[in-house]
């Protein structure tokens, strides 16, 4: 369907012949927009379907905490240069603390240094900018709510259709839940997120602060940048039915802020140690909800018999407890892009779609999912030992911290107590 052309591009796999394709992407999140920009950079024709315009995205509610670590940042920057690097607070380490939820102090605490800095840019800024950029680079951008009929029309007129949204029930039903790879069938945490100004606690200075309260939940604080400049993001994850599952009666932004403060004061008071005043960055700098973790089969079969390929949240939804959502979307998009380029002028069959997802699963998705699910469940005995030992071994703390960038560093020792003993010995613990 497409004729080969010769072109050179700074991010080409080669400067030889490239086969230009007509590709549709449904969804304008991290995975969808990154894919669109990468394809446009190679000269492919891109149709982008988005429910919201760039203006609506920028003026809307926050979407995530989106801390990107070094590997994902490098891949992202290959597609679109960041305009926030010189303004976004660097994240140079991971601070960990564990408490029992009753006493005011910490049972254990440590900080692991990252080999390269991470960053968190409010997705309202980035995605709105990227959507405008995609249109500038020649994408056909259509602002509409896609349904099955939309996919049928796109599949009939494009070489490949990628579904990059996990928020539409009608489209989600195309991608069957993979029972063998999905551990849970319901949310494992009640989630709340708050963007704030005025937080100056030492624990969250230039780092992600990860607080674990076994049986109750987790609290994360990290520096970021939003419309109004540098800020902090507070992410609260409550075990369902527990004392941090406390958002049902919250209806206003100010109530949301006050409830966030109450949870911090009760379960991680050290995060507020130097705080004089705390304010929302904006009235839409809040979010609450829940995620049902799921791995889905990547090929969606339309009534016509044509196939579409799921990417990002459409096929892999993990709880944000390990901060891997945006990182996984970046890596998934890059792997899919590589496979599209490698495929040349050949048809995008269901077998190719399955093999492409499998490459992503084996290289990234499996480890992220296994690690995330392990933190949502009662940990095996060797994990608290490692977390405690890291307080006395900087190298071990660094290993755990840098696993947020590359979760494969955790395996097999995170799930294998014998391999864990070897890790402890290697780090002199």
Tokens of 13: 């796999």
The residue from 289, 323, 354 where one domain ends is 289
Q: Are residues 163 and 301 in the same domain?
A: yes
CA–CA distances in Å: residue 126 to residues 34, 46, 65, 82, 327: 11, 19, 13, 9, 14
75 domain-assigned: no
Q: Are residues 216 and 273 in the same domain?
A: yes
pLDDT at 316 over 50: yes
Q: Are residues 420 and 327 in the same domain?
A: no
76 domain-assigned: no
72 domain-assigned: no
Mean pLDDT over residues 307-316, rounded? Answer: 97
- pLDDT band at residue 2 under the 50/70/90 scheme: very low
Helix (H/G/I), strand (E/B), else coil: 361:
helix
- Tell which residue, 296, 290, 364, has the closest CA to residue 334: 364
pLDDT at 3 over 70: no
Measure CA of the first residue to CA of the last residue in the chain; give whole Å. 60
pLDDT at 276 over 80: no
Mean pLDDT over residues 368-377, rounded? Answer: 96
Question: What is the tens place of the pLDDT at every residue in 111-137?
Answer: 999 999 999 999 999 999 999 999 999
Do 70 and 115 meet the contact criterion of CB atoms below 8 Å apart?
yes
Please give the angle made by the CA atoms of 76, 79 and 84, to the nearest 5 degrees: 60
pLDDT at 410 over 90: yes
Mean pLDDT over residues 297-301, rounded? Answer: 98
Higher pLDDT among residues 9 and 247, named by residue: 247
pLDDT at 13 over 70: no
The residue from 375, 398, 415 where one domain ends is 375
Question: What is the tens place of the pLDDT at every residue in 318-360?
Answer: 999 999 999 999 999 999 999 999 999 999 999 999 999 999 9
Q: Are residues 387 and 421 in the same domain?
A: yes
Question: What is the tens place of the pLDDT at every residue in 346-356?
Answer: 999 999 999 99
242 domain-assigned: yes
Three-state SS for 181-227 is CCCCCCCCCEEEEEEEECCCCHHHCCEEEEEEECCCEEEEEEEEEEC
Radius of gyration of the chain from Cα atoms? 22
Within 13 A of 137's CA, how many CA atoms are on the CB side?
23
- Tell which residue, 217, 37, 43, has the closest CA to residue 127: 37
Question: What CATH number did the domain enclosing 235 receive?
Answer: 3.30.9.40
Lowest mean pLDDT among 45-49, 78-82, 298-302: 78-82
Lowest mean pLDDT among 6-10, 28-32, 127-131, 151-155: 6-10
pLDDT at 10 over 60: no
Q: Are residues 104 and 225 in the same domain?
A: yes
39 domain-assigned: yes
327 domain-assigned: yes
Per-residue pLDDT, 94: 97
For the chain, give the mean pLDDT.
93
Q: Are residues 276 and 419 in the same domain?
A: no
Residue ranges making up the domain that contains 401 = 380-426
74 domain-assigned: no
pLDDT above 90 coverage of the chain, percent:
86
- Whether pTM > 0.85 for this model: the answer is yes
CB atoms within 10 A of CB 346: 10
- Per DSSP bridges, beta strands 108-120 and 17-19 are unpaired
The residue from 262, 289, 316 where one domain ends is 289
Q: Are residues 178 and 316 in the same domain?
A: yes
Tokens of 256: 């949301």
- Per DSSP bridges, beta strands 307-310 and 316-317 are unpaired
Q: In total, how many domains does the chain have?
A: 3
Q: Are residues 244 and 370 in the same domain?
A: no
Q: Are residues 130 and 25 in the same domain?
A: yes
Q: Are residues 221 and 341 in the same domain?
A: no
Q: Are residues 307 and 362 in the same domain?
A: yes
Per-residue pLDDT, 156: 98
pLDDT at 6 over 70: no
Tokens of 144: 């509409």
């Amino acid at each position: 369907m497409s004729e080969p052309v010769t072109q050179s591009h700074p991010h080409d796999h080669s400067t030889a012949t490239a086969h230009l394709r007509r590709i549709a992407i449904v969804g304008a999140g991290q995975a969808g927009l990154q894919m669109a920009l990468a394809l446009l950079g190679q000269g492919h024709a891109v149709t982008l379907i988005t429910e919201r315009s760039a203006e609506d995205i920028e003026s809307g509610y926050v979407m995530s905490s989106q801390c990107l670590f070094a590997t994902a940042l490098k891949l992202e920057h290959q597609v679109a240069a960041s305009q926030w690097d010189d303004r976004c607070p660097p994240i140079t380490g991971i601070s960990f603390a564990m408490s029992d939820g009753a006493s005011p102090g910490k049972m254990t605490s440590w900080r692991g240094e990252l080999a390269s800095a991470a960053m968190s840019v409010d997705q309202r800024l980035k995605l709105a900018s990227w959507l405008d950029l995609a249109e500038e680079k020649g994408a056909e951008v259509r602002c509409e709510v896609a349904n099955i009929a939309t996919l049928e029309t796109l599949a009939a007129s494009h070489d490949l259709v990628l579904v990059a949204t996990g928020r539409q029930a009608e489209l989600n039903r195309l991608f069957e839940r993979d029972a063998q790879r999905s551990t849970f069938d319901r949310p494992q945490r009640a989630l709340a997120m708050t963007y704030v100004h005025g937080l100056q606690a030492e624990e969250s200075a230039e780092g992600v602060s990860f607080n674990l309260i076994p049986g109750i939940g987790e609290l994360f604080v990290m520096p970021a940048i939003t419309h109004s400049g540098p800020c902090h993001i507070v992410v609260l994850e409550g075990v369902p039915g527990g004392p941090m599952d406390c958002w049902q009666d919250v209806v206003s932004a100010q109530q949301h802020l006050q409830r966030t403060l109450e949870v911090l004061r009760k379960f991680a008071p050290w995060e507020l140690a130097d705080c004089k005043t705390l304010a929302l960055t904006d009235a839409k700098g809040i979010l609450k909800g829940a995620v049902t973790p799921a791995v889905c089969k990547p090929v969606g079969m339309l009534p016509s018999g044509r196939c579409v390929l799921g990417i990002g949240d459409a096929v892999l939804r993990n709880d944000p407890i390990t901060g891997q959502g945006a990182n996984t979307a970046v890596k998934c998009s890059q792997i899919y892009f590589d496979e599209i380029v490698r495929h040349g002028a050949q048809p995008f069959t269901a077998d190719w779609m399955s093999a492409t997802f499998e490459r992503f699963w084996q290289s990234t998705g499996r480890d992220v999912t296994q690690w995330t699910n392990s933190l949502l469940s009662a940990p095996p005995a060797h994990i608290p030992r490692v977390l405690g030992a890291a307080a006395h071994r900087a190298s071990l703390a660094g290993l755990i911290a840098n696993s947020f960038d590359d979760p494969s560093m955790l395996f097999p020792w995170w799930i294998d107590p014998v391999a864990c003993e070897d890790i402890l010995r290697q780090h002199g613990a």
